[in-house]
Amino acid sequence: MKFLTSRTFLFMVLILLQLIILVALLLEFSRVGSVLYLLLTILSVLVMLPILEYADINPAYKLMWLLLIIAMPLSGAVFYMLLGSRGIRPKKAAQFADIEHKAAAAVQPDGCASRALKQFDRGLERSVDYLSTYAASPVYQATQSRYFATGEEFFPVFLEELRQARRSVFMEYFIIEEGEMWNQTLEILKEKARQGLDVRVIYDGVGSMFTLPLDYDEQLRAMGIKCYAFNGLHFSWHLTDYKMLNNRDHRKIAVIDGEIGFSGGLNFADEYINRKERFGYWKDTAFMLKGPAVYSLSLTFLRMWDFVAGTETNFRSYLPVNRFEEEEGFVQPYCDSPLDGENISENAYLNVLQQAKDYVYLTTPYLILDNEMVTTLCLAAKSGVDIRIITPGIPDKWYVYYVTQSYYATLLKAGIRIYEYTPGFIHAKMYLSDDKLAIVGSANMDYRSLYLHFENCCAFYGGHMPHDVKRDILRTMAQSHEVTLQEAQSAPLYKWVAQIFLRLFAPLM
């Protein structure tokens, strides 16, 4: 069932359809073949014209679709219309945009925090202003933060805070899987629901398709937990709604009482706390916030809740009430949507690279880069910035791993250092720069995260968080193998050919 509902199976079906059409044309060429060939050519041109016209589409994305349509005029065009077209907007996109506008109006910028940050370091002003303006995500002071270097560090603290919930618990995750991690969490959620707390859960309908029963949201509602699956496989009379099947809710958010928030790269499945071994040791990270910045996490959850539940929330009623002990540093949680035409996650990463003076260290499970990101990484390295990238030593998807490694030679030649995490799979998504800026969140460095998924991250400026992240990254580097240019260039022929082919379809991965 997992294979039958995958993009790979759909692609195979379309290739088979194209072969059938080709054979039919050959058999009937003397009679109707020339006419059909002309019609298919016209169809291909009509589909390709909008691709060339759209100025906001990444060039690699354009190239992939153009090659696909040229190679398979009919099925390639169908595949593009279903998954690739940016010009055809799902009917529900307007509904989500309306919710986004209402949430943006409920944001309450902290002018004092903005002014204080600019006094702290004016070099950070551009990053802060961009996220404030285009992601409706203000920067906050007076917010406590804590970094978790592993899922094993995160989980007991999360459970302890969850047990102390008094009013509400909101959880939004890409993957939830029954097992030790989720079952312990669920027992507490059921108890809190029995006590009358407002307990809500959102999980991605495709991300959790093979880890939960299809009616799991109904099961949770029967337990008193408000729950919806985001955008699962469903029937719709509006054909454009099927385009949103390519847009997944990849966020990781937990908010307790509107005052305590958790996020990072962790989903709720046992491999994230290494109770189950998959691909060696599973390395992931998370963070906790206490204070006014949690309001941004609440808004991110509540706008998705309004979308899936069809409700209208008074967002300002969820402003934090209690104050916690203040600490140094600034916090800016932000989220990204594939429906607004603004690539928030990628632009936030690009801003870090463009403004770095000394170094940028980053970790990512998937390194599938567009031309802008490759150019910016290489230019920063050639300009004297020490750039280091940590990727998995044991991959979860071999074909994505091949594409990741296909970028190594170009990056290494520019002076970038690349490390593969020897103990296993690194799932953490982090950027660190100059001891003063760290980003931790859910956005991978691949096309799906940066262009097609709903994501959320948090930028930390000053204070202890950048130093905590740096210590963890340096420890991780010490456990990793540094890749040499000779290694990157010595791939066997079959792997080199596979990488060339897979790079063409990288925007689909």
Among 64, 83, 66, 77, CA closest to 17? 77
**Does the structure show a pLDDT above 70 at 291?**
yes
Q: Is a pLDDT exceeding 90 seen at residue 172?
A: yes
- Cβ proximity of 110 and 139 under 8 Å: yes
Least confident interval from 114-123, 195-204, 232-241, 462-471: 232-241
Q: Residue 116 — very low, low, confident or very high, per pLDDT cuts 50/70/90?
A: confident
Instruction: Give me the pLDDT at residue 95, please.
Output: 84
User: C-alpha 166: how far from its chain's center?
Assistant: 31
Q: Which residues pair with 432 in a beta bridge?
A: 361, 438
Amino acid letter, residue 333:
P
pLDDT mean over 329-355: 93
Residue-wise pLDDT for 137-161, tens only, equals 999 988 999 999 999 999 999 999 9
418: pLDDT confidence band, cut at 50, 70 and 90? very high
What is the predicted pLDDT for the residue at 415?
96
pLDDT one-digit tens code per residue, 254-275: 999 999 999 999 999 999 999 9
CB–CB of 434/465 below 8 Å? Answer: no
Q: Concatenate the DSSP letters of all residues of 137-188 into one string.
A: ---BSS-EEEEESSHHHHHHHHHHHHHT-SSEEEEEES-B-TTHHHHHHHHH
CB 388 within 8 A of CB 478: no
Distance CA 506, CA 61 (A): 8
What predicted TM-score, i.e. pTM, was given to this entire model?
0.86
pLDDT tens string 317-337: 898 877 777 778 999 999 999
Location of structure tokens 């002003």: 125
Q: Which of 43-52, 118-127, 156-165, 366-375 has the lowest mean pLDDT?
A: 43-52
| 72 vs 270: which has the higher pLDDT | 270
Q: How far apart are CA 294 and CA 290, in angstroms?
A: 7
CA angle, corner 272, sides to 225 and 253, nearest 5?
A: 45
- In the three-class reduction of DSSP (H, G, I as helix; E, B as strand; rest coil), residue 89 is classed as coil
Whether 34 shows a pLDDT value over 70: the answer reads no
